[in-house]
Amino acid sequence: VPLVESGGGWVQAGGSLEVSCAVSGRTASVHALGWFRQTPGKEREFVAAVRRVGGSDYAQSVKGRFTISMNNAASTMRMQMHNLKPEDTGIYYCAGDRSLGPIATREPGYYYWGQGIQVTVSS
């Protein structure tokens, strides 16, 4: 199941950006979609995720600033990011989960991955 990210870009601290993820092919196999991000020298970290049947989870660092949503067909997911900080800078990866369980916040919980998209927040 291909995952294709779009959006992202550059913004000054305090600004807003949106990243989206388009799912094609067997979307019925995707039960949750999430975002991970990675900066140089650091491990990829969980940002947020949303389940097809409802429910979402966020990393503590983005709670209250980021909002994730997904359409019912699980073909499109987007994350609105507000009050961005320089530490939000990184490559954002869309990830898809095939399981019906609770939202996964670790990489092994996801089967499908996008190529990543850059988000840069300048101070």
Residue 40: predicted pLDDT: 84
Tell me the mean pLDDT per 10 residues along the chain, length 123. Answer: 95 98 89 94 95 94 97 89 97 95 93 97 96
With b meaning 16 or more CB within 10 Å and e meaning fewer, what string describes 5-20? bebbeebeeeeebebb
- pLDDT in the model for residue 26: 83
Report the distance separating Cα 63 and Cα 74, nearest Å.
23
